[in-house]
Chains A and B, each alone.
Chain A
Amino acid sequence: MTVRVEARNLSLDYGDVEAIRDVSLSLADGRIYGLLGRNGSGKTSLMSLLAGFRRPTAGEALVDGEPVFENGNATRKVCLIREGADTVDSMEKVEAGLEFAARMRPYWDDAYARRLLDRFELSARKKVGDLSRGQRAALAVTLGLASRAPVTMFDEAYLGLDAPSRYVFYDELLRDFMEHPRLVVVSTHLIEEVSLLFEEVLILHEGRLILQDEAEAFRMRGANVIGPRDTVDRFVAGMTVLERRELGPTASAVVYGEFDDHLRRKAVEAGLEVGPLPLQDLFVHLTSSQEGEDDRS
């Protein structure tokens, strides 16, 4: 049995603020998705809708074709881990949090949860309220990984971890995903560190889904073209230019689109230098240029 997550014309308003606007998407089992977006772009709202934490204002959030909101069949397949770490009362111990999860989560692997706590050097006897931000994050990702939920989502929860623990998280996520393939969504605004874990990326901007693409293809979609001003302008005419800068007679343009070998060679023949564009930069350009357009409209 495989799991499928869909959104159809999904919208969510907070009062008169439109957090999610007409988002449609389809996510397949056995893949790790990267949900990218700036702070306030709607990542948490979208995931909350997919997990049934909120009722859509319009449209549908579906798990295996069934609406998620107030549907136990669907919500029991989903685990959304947020930075706040929904565990137990802060008065209770970590142990109680694990026991609660074991009781509530149908796919829970208790032995794995305890191995993870060991890896994060977190004692189950500690009170949840006494945990540092990093320890809370470690507990949160432990609860997410060990949930083994067919749909497991991490909403920046791991960003509270310090660097060594983040790498433990990446390693464990990959390893557990390979042993127990499922649908994983990881949201982040710090892309460079995690981008290689993703099979597909989704970019949210101001509540809209502006892109869903294979991570490898997306990585190759941007290029930085540098050379004499006129040559650059002639070359990029008709392309999507995300940014253009000048330094004396030299210009550089960040272009977006299919930048294949043929085009690359043409650029070199024209005497231009073509540089790669790191994913993070591409993301920055995509999500800031759009904002500019919105401002003008």
Chain B
Amino acid sequence: MSFAFDDASPIYRQIADRIRGEVLSGELEPDKPVMSTNQYAAFYRINPATAAKAFQLLVDEGVLYKRRGLGMFVSPDAREKLRAERRERFFEDVVEPMLAEARSIGIPVSEIIRRIEVHEHEEQDE
């Protein structure tokens, strides 16, 4: 049944992650309405309280805001906020683990840097 979820973290967090992702990618636009908790619950076949918890989390984070009687909307600055957060966590979440992996299998840091520079040149050439 849990076609959409894994067991590693609470379902509401996985739903929140997915909505954050949609905001980041621009699928969910600022000041546009988000599907209701009930629609999410029906779509994922989950308890509506779980979906509501995800929404509450995002409201607390300022990604969504509530309009009385109208439902949830994407905050105007949500995308920018999420991007800033991701940038902050990028080194911790992506670079550090990569370096740890490189160390354990014996790839020197200098080689990684060289590879990155090659990529940068290619991008500039295009």
Interface residues of A (CB under 8 A from B): 31-32, 167, 170-171, 174-175, 177-178, 192-199, 215-216, 219-220, 276-279
Contacts and interface: CB of A to CB of B under 8 A. Distances in A.
Interface in B33-86: 38, 41-42, 44-50, 53
**What secondary structure prevails in chain A residues at the interface with B?**
helix
Nearest to B38: A178
A196 B10 contact: no
Contacts of A277: 7
23 contacts: A167-B45, A171-B42, A171-B45, A174-B42, A177-B48, A192-B2, A193-B1, A194-B1, A195-B1, A195-B2, A196-B1, A196-B5, A196-B45, A196-B46, A196-B47, A197-B45, A198-B47, A199-B47, A199-B49, A216-B11, A219-B7, A276-B6, A279-B7
Chain B residues touching A, range: 20 to 34
A216 B50 contact: yes
B10 A178 contact: no
User: What 5 A-B pairs are tightest by C-beta distance, nearest first?
Assistant: A276-B7, A276-B8, A196-B46, A193-B1, A199-B49
Contact of A216 (B6, B12, B42, B45): B12
Interface of B: 1-2, 5-12, 38, 41-42, 44-50, 53
A175 B42 contact: yes
Nearest to B41: A174
B38 to A, nearest CB: 5
Nearest to A175: B42
A31 B42 contact: no
B1 A192 contact: yes
A86 B9 CA distance: 41
Contact of A219 (B10, B38, B44, B45): B10
A107 B116 CA distance: 68
A192 B6 CA distance: 12
Contacts of B49: 31, 199
Contacts of B41: 174, 178
B73 to A, nearest CB: 21
A183 to B, nearest CB: 13
A174 B51 CA distance: 12
Nearest to B48: A178
Contact of B50 (A194, A199, A278): A199
B38 A196 contact: no
B18 to A, nearest CB: 15
Contacts of A196: 1-2, 5, 11, 44-47, 50
Given A178-B38, A199-B49, 13 more contacts: A32-B47, A174-B45, A174-B47, A177-B48, A195-B1, A196-B1, A196-B5, A216-B12, A216-B53, A219-B7, A220-B10, A276-B8, A278-B7
